[in-house]
Structure 1
């Protein structure tokens, strides 16, 4: 039996150190995109005058979701083992 490829072993070690890292990053980006689309729609509603009284809070929430998800994605990128 031949020894395993070193690149294969390093990939296995990275996965053992941070399981489901790729899946978490996909979720971060998908939720950020969702918040961005929601914020865009709320912004258009506010411009059109159909937003209602709580449009400001809803828009702030959508922007907050985008900021948090992008921050988590960047944090995940920075702590990744190279």
Structure 2
């Protein structure tokens, strides 16, 4: 167990503050990754439905691929942040 240099801090609080100092805004970054991933997923659904309906063109296929890429990137960043 890590001993805090300040006797007023509990060891648990000291460990939490030390982890936050080593990786600042970790929770915020994970929240942003989730939000952007969800946005990309919703966009991918819409473009996929357009492609299935036959209204999609090469631009629609490119947009669908872009949305899938965004979702993949956000999943990768979220997993890296969770390790």
State whether TM-score is above 0.5.
yes
For residue 51 of structure 1, report the CA deviation from its aligned partner: 2.1
Distance 1:63 1:19 in 2: 29
For residue 53 of structure 1, report the CA deviation from its aligned partner: 3.2
Gaps of 5+ in 2: 1-6
For residue 8 of structure 1, report the CA deviation from its aligned partner: 0.5
| Higher relative contact order (CA closer than 8 Å, sequence separation 6+) | 1
Residue of structure 2 aligned with 1:74, choices 67, 72, 79 = 79
Structure 1 residue ranges, 4+ long, deviating more than 4 angstroms after superposition: none
For residue 7 of structure 1, report the CA deviation from its aligned partner: 0.5
For residues 6-44 of structure 1, the C-alpha deviation after alignment (integer angstroms, 9 at most, x for no partner) is: 100000001000110000000001111110000001000
**Largest Rg, 1 or 2:** 2
Does 2:25 correspond to 1:20? yes
Q: CA RMSD in A?
A: 1.1
Give me the TM-score of the superposition, normalised by structure 2.
Answer: 0.87
